[in-house]
Structure formats: C-alpha cells, structure tokens
Structure 1
Amino acid sequence: MSRVAKKPITLPKGVEITSNANGITVKGPKGTLATHALPGASVSIENGVANIAVAEGADDKFGGTLRALLANMVKGVSDGYERKLELVGVGYRASMAGKSLNIALGFSHPVVFDAPEGISIETPSQTEILIKGSDKQRVGEVAAKIRSFRPPEPYKGKGVRYSGEKITLKEAKKA
C-alpha cells in the first residue's frame, strides 16, 4: 500500500463520512461534498479517524488518491478553502453586484463573472478578489477562470495574478 494511503485522516468535530457502493459523502458545518468510489479502495471509520484500505491485488495508486481526495473534502467542509487574486494595473478594479463580479481590466467593456453555486466571491478592496468555498477543485477552477480574463503580461506585470505570485519580467527591446 502507498505511503499516502497509510496516513489516517482525523475527523474534526461535526464532520461525518458515509460510504456506500455509489461513492463517499462527507458532511460538515460548511456543506456536503461527494466523490465516486475508486476500485479496490475502501474507507473505514473508527473513533473519529478514517483509514483507507486497499484490496489485495488492487492497484495501490487508488488508495493514495482516495486518501488525498478525502483529506481535501474533510478540510473543505470543516474550514473551507480560499484563493486570493490581485489586480495590478492602472484602472484595474473589481466590485461585487449581488452574486456577479464586475471587473474593469482595460477592455472597452467591463467583464462580468457570475459566481457558481457553492462559491462565494468577495472584494475586500478594489484591487483584491477573494474566492471562498468548500470544494478545493472548484475554488481553484474559479480563480483560474478569473485570472484567464487578463493573465499577467511579462513586460510590465499588469493583469490578474494570484496573491504572492512572482512574475518574472522580461527586458524591453532595445532600439
């Protein structure tokens, strides 16, 4: 069995894992997440600790994958995930209008992005966007989608970037 699958997952207070033939469901204070069952891997819960077991002769990689997915789901329904984006550029601003994010990115029109179900978007300041949710994958997808509207360009560094992202700037052409 893989080393990742051997690590137990401690369940915080208020988090429940239920497993059946269709898949695995994790319930917690921030919502409910579900995943499909992986072949040869099963989950057992004892005293608030979830352990992954891989069937004899089954592929080890499914045990490690299932453990990583479950650990992310447990963290998501208990604490949640968040991703922070920064707008860098003159006139680049973001604001919320209901569930829609309005972003001015130097185009002739504002970019309007509707938050998908289960994801909340906040704008603490005009140049910051905070994406929160319980599903790690969906939070990352939404952040990548917003970043794709105007990714950072390599000469001045203007655009939408992840918080703390380092952009390597190129030297301008010399005449």
Structure 2
Amino acid sequence: MRIRNLAVTATLIPVLMLAGCGADTSADVAASSPGAQKASKHTDVPVGAAQPETTQVSDDPVVNAYYDYRAALDTMMKSGGKATKQLVPVMTPTLYKAISLQAKYYRARKLRNTGATKVVWAKRTVAAAGVIVRACYDTKAARTVDAKGRGVIPAKTPTRWVDEMRVEQRDGRWVVDGGRTTPQKC
C-alpha cells in the first residue's frame, strides 16, 4: 500500500497499528477507519457512566461492548487524541496501546473528527478466532479535519465500512480485542 499524502496517512494509521494483532491470520487491519465515530444510537455520556435507557441498543452484551468501543473511539477522535481514559474499560490492553498511538498521531498532526458515524447494523458471530462482532457503519456525516477545520480525507474515500472485531471477556466484562475494518457496501 502506498501512502500518498497526509489524508491517506490519517486514514491508514489504524491499519498500520494493529497489523498481525491476535491469533487470527486475517487480523491485519486495525479496529478503526477514517472518521470512525461514535455509534449514532449512543449519546455523549462517558463510557462507564450510567447510560440513559435510550442508549440500550441490544440485549446482547457482546454487541453492546462493540457500541461502547465505538463511543469511546469517537470521543478520542473528536478530542483530537486528548481524551483516552474512556478507552481503557472497553478494549484490551494490546488494543489500547495501538489506539493510544493513533491518539498520539492525532495530537501531533492536530487532527480531530467532527460529525457522527452511524452504525447501520451489528451482530455477533462465532469463528475459530473466538467471538466476533461484525458491524456495518457509515462515515458519510463524519469528517476528519486539521487545525484550520479543513477536511483531510480525500473525497473519494469510501463511507461504508465493515468491522469484524474480536470481543472477549476480561474481569467479567466484554471488551474489544481488535480485528479488521474493510471498506465495503453494506
């Protein structure tokens, strides 16, 4: 893959962070993509805080772990990489380390996200690699901007993405352990 400019770099930094993470040989893409934003069914209530009843999106705690991960990731990117504490309870330490590097990249380049990502659907599946949440999300309303508010993602960048994220139970709580994200109509 050739990196041509800052916009492509901002898009691909998560991809480069988690290459080869986990036992799954296809786990070559990170847990986020450009403009990855908070799930649209969540509010701005911090992760770990009491969530309003309207934010319950599933009866499945594994799927809800994915939504919490998306909300925490959205908060980090909207803050320009400054807010990272909310990431700890929703992901494994290995994924946290990778996403922290992405946050550092956002801070160094003075990038931040605006708008919101809409999770179109999310469902649990079981694979050889463990419990997987497969989800489709749309970044059409989300933008990654620089310090001057100029968009840094090329106009032809796909807006529909499919996440395939491993979710595992740690200390009695479901957390995201990484996986892959691919541009795909869904």
Name the TM tier (shorter chain): under 0.3
From the CA coordinates, give the structure whose radius of gyration is larger.
1
So what's the TM-score if we normalise by structure 1? 0.21
Scaled by the length of structure 2, the TM-score of the pair is 0.20
